[in-house]
Every structure is written in structure tokens, then in C-alpha cells.
Amino acid sequence: MEKLYFNRKYVFIGLFLFTGLVFLVRLFYVQILADRFILSASNNVLRYITQYPARGLIYDRNGELLVYNEAAYDMMVIPRQVKGMDTVEFCRLLEIDLEDFRERIKKATQYSSYKPSIFESQISRENFGALQEKMFMFPGFFVQPRTLRKYPHPIAAHMLGYVGEANPRTIERNPYYKPGDYIGISGIEKSYEELLRGKKGMKIRVVDVHNRDMGSFQKGRYDTISAPGTDLWSSIDINLQAYGELLMKNKKGSIVAIEPSSGEILCLITSPSYDPNLLVGRIRNKNFSLLIADSVNIPLFNRALMATYPPGSTFKVANALVAEQEEIIFPNTRYSCTGGFPLGNGHMVACHEHESPVNLVASIQNSCNTYYCNVFKRILDKYGFYETEKGYNGWRNHILTFGFGNRLGLDLPGELSGNIPVTAYYDKYYGKNRWRSLTVISMAIGQGEVLVTPIQLANMTALIANRGYYYIPHIIKGIGKPVSVNRGFVRKNESSIDPGYFDPVIDGMEQVVLAGTAMNARLDTISICAKTGTAQNPHGDNHSIFIAFAPKENPKIALSVVVENAGWGTTWAAPIASLMIEKYLRGEVKRKQVEEWLVNSNLIDK
Amino acid sequence: MRIEHGIFYRIDWVMIVLYLVLVFFGWFNIYSAVYDEQYTSMFDFSQRNGKQLIWIVAALILAIVTLAIDPKFFSQFTWLFYGGMLILMLVVIFLGREVSGARSWLHFGQVSIQPAEFAKMATALIIAKKLSKIDLNINKSRTWLQLCSLAFLPAILILLQRDMGSALIFLAFLMVFYRFGMSGYVLIGLIGILVIGILSLLIDKFILIGILFFLAFLFFLFSHKTVRRLLIILLILLVSVGYMFSVDYAVNRILKPYQRERINVLIGKTSDPQGAGYNVNQSLIAIGSGQILGKGYLNGTQTKYHFVPEQSTDFIFCTVGEEWGFTGSLVLIVLYIGLFVRIILIAERQRAKFSRVYGYCVASILFFHFAINIGMTLGLMPVIGIPLPFLSYGGSSLWAFTILLFIFIRQDSYRSELV
């Protein structure tokens, strides 16, 4: 009877083998074919923690600290872990209201309920002190140390620039940046971003099922170490910068000073400005809105690089050099001035009262409009009265080698190119071959269509000081150490003017201060070479403009000063430039009453 | 005296070696599963690995004692074991302590035991005793119902302890009944009930009814076409349809939402990796991330950082899968299947029917545990909390399995003495 069922043992053995086989097939799929499980396993236990390096510091040319870092703390939240806490106390500590708290939690949850996101950014060290001892009461919250930029001197805001969180577009373009990362937005912070930021590191931590930290992954074998940002040494002299900003108080305009022998920018002043500490941390957004809303002073506008002005009479030195190079005039070429240059249509370019006739040196010394109208007309008519275009292009090509009409390419963002019009511009305006030298004669005295930036004016001054060449102005002279080669700024840019032609022009510029239009800029023992300018413009009163370099031999400083709508170049720009030269070359200013008068003059609310 | 002298040579060493390998492999894996940087000693008795070592030593003593006892002791006093066990189970229902929802533990000072684990052994003995009676016809309804009562009475008491997993194991005796003459239709019927129940939740009931009628028609076509048979088939169909609707009603109306959710996850209707499906999902991640060779002993991240719940007990196979990979899992499964097949082969060589039936009981019980437990960790079976024989942490289950197996080894060693 029982034998009948003997074969049923094979059912058992078969079932066992079949079950084993099913398990092995399943295991083969789960362990070998599918890869989602291994991914999930690492997602379960690994937490990638970014290590933010300290941003590089910035010093001035004498090693004075301009920008440093201060610890700040981002309050991070992992929404899933937030529970059972005194929300009211938490809000009180962070100075937010309950509504705000819920809103932020909601926002963080939308991003991810189990990944950390920023709840409150940039809590200052002082505020963090109060929070720190109570952090244990707030599960799901933790702080991540970050650094904030700090500025010991409340000056040079535009030049230094500011940092802020990278915007979504940047993040999309550059995979280095993640939401919440800082990036330089303007000034040196922007142009040297890659050096200053250093390199982020990544720590891989292992967490258990309760998200508790269980130590580093594989003893840190896969961690990457953050590299601190590179320190930078600026060519700025902070004392000169501070002094210039003081002099420019309550005035609109700029001062740009360059060391001619190197192209290093000694100061870059734009006024009105703001305290760079305003654009740091939590107060940044509020202050930024306030600054951008100030449409009268436009404090965020960097006039030194972005404002374009007619250069006025300062442009005469450029025209003199071109005329010499074109052999249209010689040092002893004279023109008589009878109060102006007749345009042949009943109008004339007026000139002021001065000795007559004047040679080249005296033309600069007295800033004679008549002289330069004659010279400019002859440059443009060099190939004949009807060959204006050819003559104009010859002139324009010379002027371009002075650094006008194009961006200089310095190491700061936002620079504008100014304008030296192309012939096509006039062709379009007047018709092809329908304009003559007299049509554009106002450019002889730096008026009309020609527009330059203060940095271009200072650069031309440096070029004259160097007798024919310039280095592209730059703000950083040392990368990682006080002095190093800043690539891109070591090439000599030669002008098209032979060095020999500079002497009479420089003599004329010296006479400007000694016995010409700017005798108030005279400095007893230091020979200053300068040129005044009074630029007519459609925006109101004339701009007061002054360019100067000193000393005459072996020049140490070349600068341009622009005071908007202030009147004569002599009145405002000249004494400011003179004081700046004195400050830089002597270290202190003795002419206290001039200084006091300038500091106390308010030309904005006049 | 002859028996005492010869036992060493007549016990089946293959089973014993397989047993020892599994037990110690289990101990190693428990050490890994509960590994804590603060308690790194394998012999720290405050940790589960240390405790398991005590259980193992006790189990080995129990094994030796079992081998020393006269085999007739087990076949003679089956009613005593069975009756004692039933009383113990009743005591548990009223005096037991509740551990994670089940009231199935009895405490004696420091030691707590789970009588349900031992109930399987006692039931196996009484079934073996009952089935070994001469002239027993299992297909007589009365006999069959008697056997079923013996097998499922303890299961009902275990259900009263709210320990569904352990109760389910008693279905293993149906396999034993099948081996010894029960009609295969009973098993087919049971499987049919299960399949129809699941399908009625998964697919449209009217499509299912259509399929059932089609199958019934095919069956009738190829069998004796008698009126009686037709009526039986129609009756079965009617009952099936009624059953389908009652399953649907029970699941959607009677069960609580969380229970319904668990069933839905189980049959693959919904996935809920954070909720009801959490265990299985984490278990699969652990095993899946082991890949071919595993992460290495003590290097399993899922294991070490406690992502899988019940890792040292019900989910111990995750540790194997994660740290020993496909290779280790394959070896382990081969070992188990080897043990089961060995038990069957040895059972078949028994002269005494008692021993043979008992052997089948042992194989079936162990196999049910194995299939449900590993099936669960691999997401092929519902999450039913039962231990993996010899590997899972726990004194009661280890001792019960040890005694269960060694009684059989003892019976086998004695086979030539008997008629």
C-alpha cells in the first residue's frame, strides 16, 4: 500500500531543488543584473559634505589688508528630522516670525525632505553664539560654517567688488557651482574669482538608519581636501585711495592714478561710493536695493571705468602728438590767436585771452583753441581738402594707439570703450564724402563725438609720461605673493608716436602748472606736468577735468581727475590732482587749507 | 550496551556536519549583524553574538543528550510531549509576555522561551506516531480529519498568541500527509484557493470567472463525462466565485487600511518603500548591493548601520547576501537544499515507519522555514516573521530545531535495531 506513494519522494526532492533554483535566479537578478540596489545602498549610508575653503585675502601694495574673512554660519535644515521642538523660542533666536518659519520649512521640504537645505544664511558670529548652546533643542537643524567678506577700510568698494550666492544661470553654465555657493559678482572678486575661491573639498560621511554620523567613509580615502583661495596683492595704495575718496566727498566724478612704469593702478576712485561692508551677509539684499534705488548719486555706478566724457582740452596733447608725428607741426610752428577759429559760416570756435602767436609749448600752456583747430584741420586735410576720410583715418589710427576707442582690457569687469567715431558714422550722418575737416573740428579741442573714460585718460597720461608706451592698467600685482608676474599685463603697448615728439608736449604740460592754465596745481619742488580740461556736455555744467603726471623726469604717478558739472578744470580737478600727487610722492599733504576747502566743498547739492 | 558502543559510527555525520556549518555560519553573521564599534569582542555576552554562542553551546549539549536518550523514549511518549506542549501553549496565551505584537514568550527568570518553537517537534512526533499505525487509510475522511486536528490544534493556539508566521508552518504537515497517501487534490485545492484569492485582488473578477469557466470546461472535456462529475465541477466553480467575492469583501471592507496596504504591497499591487514595503526594500538593497563577491565580512553598510530591521533574526539572510555576495548566498542555499535532500533520503531508508514519517516532518518543517524566510528577504514571499533554521539569532528556535533534527538522527542511528 505504502509503496504506491514511494515515488512521491521525488516530488519532495523536486520541490526542494526547484525552490533553490528560484532563489538562485532571483539572487542572480538582484545581485548581478540589477544595479539599482547598489546605488540605493550608497544613497542610504553616504552623505557628501562640501568643505568650503576660505576665500583668498586681498592686500594693498604695501601689504595692508583690504579684505579678509569672518566666520558666519548657515542654518541648515533637514525637514524630515524636524520634530518636537520649541518653535517659538527658535523663531525668537533667529528673529523671524512663525509664519516665516512655516514658509521656509515648506520651501525646504519642496526641495527635499531628507537632504539639508539652507534655512537661514550667514548668521553672524555674535548671533551664532547665542544659538549655539541651544542647538541641541532643535532636531533637524544644524549649522554649517561659511565665511563672510569683511573690509577693515570702508573704501574702494567698486574696485574690490562683492560676493553673493551663485544664481541659477551660473550654476547651469558652470558645474563647479552648487546652489548656495558664493561667487564674486563684481570688482576683483569677480575678475579673480577662480583664484580667490580656491577649491571646494568633499567629505564623505557614513550615517546609520537614524542619520547619525558613523564616521568617515573608508577612512576618508575618497574625500577630497579643499584648497584655500589664493591671496592677492593689489597695486592700490590704500592711503592714496582713502585720501582721494575723502577729497571727492560730495562730488561726482573719479580719480584714476597709474604708475606709468608698470601700469599698476595706484588708486581707482569713483564718487559717490558706498561702504563695502554694506553688501555683506544678511544685510546685503536690503542695502543693495537701497543703493540701486538711489537714482541721484547712482552709487553702484563705477565712473572710473564706466562713465564716458568728452575729454575737453586734455585731448589737445594727443592732437599735438599726432600732428608732430604727421610732420604737420614742429615745436616752433606758430599760429596767431585772435579770439577764435572762424568756421567760415559766421560761427567760430572761441578762444580766451592769452599771448599770441603761440608755438607748440605755449599752445599747451595756454590751451589755445585756435591753435588746435588749425592743427586738426591740417591733419584731416593732409591729403587734400576733399580727402577728409583718408586724413581722418590717419588721425584716428594714431589716437587708437593711445588706448582710446577700445576697452583697455584691465583686470576689472565692466569697463567701457568710449568712442572715437569711425568714418562710417559721419558718412551715415552727413552722407558719403559730404563732411569735411571743419565739420568735425570740435574734436580738435576734445569736444563733439569723442568720448573717453577716466581710466583711458589716465592711461594716456601714463603713455605721455613714458614717452610713447603704456602697460595695460591693472589692479593686481601679486598673485599668491606680494609681487609676481601678472600675465597679460607685462606687454609694452607702443603708441604710433616716436619718443622724440613727446618732449615739447611734456614741456608744454610743465608750463601749464608753472605759468599756464593750472598754476594752482603747482607743487614747490616737484615738477608736475599737466593739462586742464573743461568739457562741455549735454548734462549740465562743464565737467572739470585734469590730467597730470609727476615728477617730470622718471615719473612715478600719472592720473586723471574728473569732477562732473563742476566748471573749469583749473578750479576743481587741478587742485585735487595736485594734492593727490603730493600725498603719493610725499606721503603727507602740507597744503591744509586747500585740502580743507576741497573736502568741505559740496558740488552735488550746490 | 551494543547501542551505546556503536552510536558514534551509526549516526549520520553528513547531517551533523551540515548542521554545524550552518549554526556557526549563523553565529558569524549574527556577529556582523549586531556589530558595534563599542563591543567588538565576538565573546561579549552582553551582545547578541555572545548570547548566541551560549545558545549554541546549550544546543550542542541538548543534541548530545538527545543522542544519548533511548530512541523509543520519543516514540513511546508522544502523547505526553503533545499534551504537555498544548498545556504550555495555553499557559502562554494567558501568562505570556507580549513581544512585538505576539504573546508567545514564557519567562523563567533570565531565560525566555517560545513554546511555539517546540510545538512543531511535539506535533511531528505525534503525527509520526499516528501515521505509523498499521492499516491506516489517510484518505478516510475520519482519519484525515483526526490527523488534521492533531496538526492544526497547536497552530490554532499559536494563532491565539497572534504569531501568524509560526502557525503557518504547520501547513508543512500537509506535505507529510501527501507523502503518506493523502490525495494530491487536497494540495492542488489549497494552492488553488491561494491563487484564486490573490488573483481576485489583482485582476478584474469577471475576467477571472471567465478564465475559471474555461479551465473547468477544458478539464471536463478531457475527463469522464458523467453528470456527477459535471455537477461537482459546477459546484466547485460556484464555491470559487463566492470565495472570490468574499475575499474581495474581506480585504476591502473588513480589514483595516494598514492591513489592506500590507496585502497590496505583498501581492505587488502597490509599492511603498517607506511604509509597508520598507523592510523588503531595504532587504533587497542589502542583498543586491552584495553583488558577486559581497562587500566582505563586517563591511556591509546596510547591515552595519541597521537599515534592515530584525537583521539578526528574521532578516539574517540579508547579511549573508550583502557581505558574502552571490557566491556566499549560493553556497548557503546549496547547503540547505543538501540538508533537506539528505533528510529525505535518510527518511526513505528507515525501516520503521515512525522514523520515516518523522523524517519527512523534519524535512517539511525546515523547508517551510527556509522557503518562507529567504523568499521574504528576496521579496518573493510576504513579510512573515519566522526564523531561518540554525542561522537566525534566538535560543528557542535554535534549540527546537536542534532537538527536532537530532531526534531524527537518533532514530536513524537506531534503524538496524528495529524490525
Q: What is the pLDDT of residue B83?
A: 95
What mean pLDDT do residues A461-480 have? 94
Name which of A170, A192, A190 is nearest A181 in CA terms.
A170
Domain coordinates in residue numbering, chain B: 2-182+265-417, 189-254
Q: What is the DSSP string of A529-551?
A: EEEEEEEEETTEEEEEEEEEEE-
- Kindly report, residue by residue over A170-214, the tens digit of the pLDDT: 888 888 888 778 899 999 999 999 999 998 888 887 777 766 677
* Closest to B355 in 3D by CA, of B113, B24, B74, B77: B74
Long-range contacts of the stretch A270-275 (C-beta < 8 A, 24+): A270/A158, A270/A301, A270/A302, A270/A303, A270/A304, A271/A245, A271/A303, A272/A297, A272/A298, A272/A299, A272/A604, A273/A155, A273/A157, A273/A158, A273/A245, A273/A299, A274/A157, A274/A299, A274/A300, A275/A151, A275/A154, A275/A155, A275/A157
Nearest to A153 by CA among A68, A233, A265: A68
* Mean pLDDT calculated for residue range B53-80: 93
- In chain A, the percentage of residues whose pLDDT exceeds 90 is 56
**Cβ separation of B305 and A214 shorter than 8 Å?**
yes
Chain B contact for A13, CB < 8 A? yes
All residues of chain A having their beta carbon less than 8 Å from the beta carbon of residue B172 are: none
Task: Say how many Å lie between the first and final Cα of chain B, rounded.
Answer: 19
Q: How confident is the model at residue B275 (pLDDT cuts 50, 70, 90)?
A: low
How confident is residue B363, by pLDDT bands cut at 50, 70 and 90? very high
Q: Point out the least confidently predicted range of B202-206, B294-298, B318-322.
A: B202-206
Asked if B302 reaches chain A (Cβ–Cβ under 8 Å), the answer is yes
| Helix (H) or strand (E) run with residue A112 in it | none
Grid coordinates of A46: 553616504
Tell me how far apart the alpha carbons of residues B121 and A33 are, in angstroms, rounded to a whole number.
40
Hey, is the C-beta of A222 within 8 angstroms of any chain B C-beta? no
Distances (CA, A) of A454 to A189, A270, A308, A534: 22, 10, 7, 14
Q: What is the pLDDT of residue A533?
A: 93
Q: What are phi and psi of A86, to 5 degrees?
A: -80, 90
B2 has a pLDDT exceeding 60: no
Hey, are the CB atoms on B179 and A5 less than 8 Å from each other?
A: yes
**Residue in the block written with cell 509520526:** B128
CATH 3.40.50.300 fits A49-234, yes or no: no
Question: Worst-scoring range by mean pLDDT, A320-324, B150-154, B272-276?
Answer: B272-276
Q: What percent of chain B has pLDDT over 90?
A: 42
Interface of B with A in 147-176 (CB under 8 A): 175
Contacts of B371 in chain A (CB under 8 A): 19
Q: Where in chain A is the domain with CATH 3.40.710.10?
A: 238-600
Burial class from Cβ neighbours inside 10 Å (0-12, 13-18, 19+) for residue B70 reads exposed
How far does the CA of residue A202 sit from the closest CA of chain B (Å)?
20
Interface contact B333-A23, CB threshold 8 A: yes
> Which ranges of B275-315 would DSSP assign to H, the alpha helix?
278-288, 301-304
A20 touches chain B (CB under 8 A): yes
Statement: residue B419 has pLDDT above 50: no
pLDDT for the residue A1: 46
Write out the H or E segment, with its range, that includes residue B190. Answer: helix B184-202
Rounded distance between C-alpha atoms, residue A404 and residue A411, angstroms: 17
Contact status of A22 with chain B (Cβ, < 8 Å): yes
**Contact list, B302 vs chain A (CB under 8 Å):** 41, 44-45
Examine the pLDDT at A312 and tell me if it is beyond 90: yes
Chain A: closest CA distance from residue B244 (Å): 28
Q: Is A38 on the interface with B (CB under 8 A)?
A: yes
Provide the number of CB pairs (under 8 Å) joining chain A to chain B: 121
Q: What is the mean pLDDT of residues A385-408?
A: 94
With an 8 Å Cβ cutoff, are A37 and B288 in contact? yes
Confidence band of A118 (pLDDT split at 50, 70, 90): confident
pLDDT at residue A222 greater than cutoff 90: no
> Rounded to a whole number, what is the distance in Å from the CA of B323 to chain A's nearest CA?
11
Q: Of A470-474, A565-569, B2-6, B215-219, which gets the smallest average pLDDT?
A: B2-6
Q: Say which CATH architecture domain A238-600 belongs to.
A: 3-Layer(aba) Sandwich (3.40)
Grid cell for residue B128:
509520526
On whether any CB of chain B is under 8 Å from the CB of A10, the answer is no
Confidence of residue B342 (pLDDT cuts 50, 70, 90): very high
Mean pLDDT of chain B: 87
Look at residue B53 in the predicted model and tell me its pLDDT.
93
Residue B180 · residue B357 · CB < 8 Å:
yes
pLDDT at A210: 67
Question: Is the Cβ of A221 closer than 8 Å to some Cβ of chain B?
Answer: no
How far does the CA of residue B238 sit from the closest CA of chain A (Å)? 31
> Looking at beta carbons, which residues of chain B come within 8 Å of A221?
none
Contact A208 B340 (CB under 8 A): no
- Cα–Cα dist A247/A241, whole Å: 10
Question: Which phi-psi region, left, alpha or beta, contains residue A535 (left: φ > 0; alpha: ψ -120 to 50)?
Answer: beta
Across residues A5-14, what is the average pLDDT?
Answer: 90
Closest C-alpha to B391, from B29, B3, B16, B85: B29
B305/A2 CB distance under 8 A: no
Is pLDDT above 80 for A366?
yes
Average pLDDT over residues B189-203: 86
Helices (H), A256-357: 284-293, 303-306, 316-325
**Is B210 an 8 Å CB contact of chain A?**
no
Asked if A459 contacts A262 with a C-beta cutoff of 8 angstroms, the reply is: no
3-state secondary structure of B269: coil
- The per-residue pLDDT for A197 is 92
* B291/A contact by beta carbon, under 8 A: yes
Among B181, B287, B302, the residue with its CB nearest the CB of A44 is: B302
- A25–chain B Cβ distance below 8 A for any pair: no
- CB contact at 8 A, A203 and A47: no
Instruction: Give the mutation candidate from B180, B333, B337 for the A interface (greatest A CB count, under 10 A).
Output: B337
Q: Is A5 on the interface with B (CB under 8 A)?
A: yes
| CATH 3.90.1310.10 domain extents, chain A | 49-234
Q: Does B371 touch chain A (CB under 8 A)?
A: yes
- What is the structure's pLDDT at A186? 92
Torsion angle of the four alpha carbons B15, B21, B27, B29, in this order, in degrees rounded to the nearest 10: -120
User: Residue range B367-378: average pLDDT?
Assistant: 95
pLDDT category at A124 given cuts 50, 70, 90 is confident
Query: Contact A23/B334, CB-based, under 8 Å?
Result: no
User: Cα A252 to chain center, whole Å?
Assistant: 18
